[in-house]
Chains A and B, each alone.
Chain A
Amino acid sequence: AQTVTQSQPEMSVQEAETVTLSCTYDTSESDYYLFWYKQPPSRQMILVIRQEAYKQQNATENRFSVNFQKAAKSFSLKISDSQLGDAAMYFCAYRANAGGTSYGKLTFGQGTILTVHP
Chain B
Amino acid sequence: DAGVTQSPTHLIKTRGQQVTLRCSPKSGHDTVSWYQQALGQGPQFIFQYYEEEERQRGNFPDRFSGHQFPNYSSELNVNALLLGDSALYLCASSLLSGPRSRGYTFGSGTRLTVV
Contact = CB atoms under 8 A, between A and B. Distances in A.
A54 to B, nearest CB: 10
A107 to B, nearest CB: 7
Interface string A45-77: 111001010000000000000000000000000
Query: Binding site of A, secondary structure by majority: helix, strand, loop or mixed?
Result: loop
B68 to A, nearest CB: 13
A103 B101 contact: no
A52 B101 contact: yes
Contacts of A93: 42
Given A43-B88, A50-B101, 13 more contacts: A4-B42, A45-B90, A45-B92, A47-B103, A98-B56, A102-B48, A103-B33, A105-B33, A105-B48, A106-B103, A108-B43, A109-B42, A110-B42
Contacts of A33: 100-101, 103
A103 B111 CA distance: 25
Contacts, number: 77
B107 A44 contact: yes
Interface of A: 4, 6, 33, 35, 37, 42-47, 50, 52, 91, 93, 95, 97-99, 101-111
Nearest to B35: A106
Contacts of B51: 101
A24 B45 CA distance: 19
Contact of B104 (A91, A106, A110): A106
A105 B43 CA distance: 11
B113 interface: no
Contacts of B90: 43, 45
10 contacts: A43-B111, A45-B43, A47-B103, A91-B42, A99-B100, A101-B50, A103-B50, A104-B56, A106-B35, A106-B92
Interface in B58-115: 58, 88, 90, 92, 94, 96, 100-104, 106-109, 111
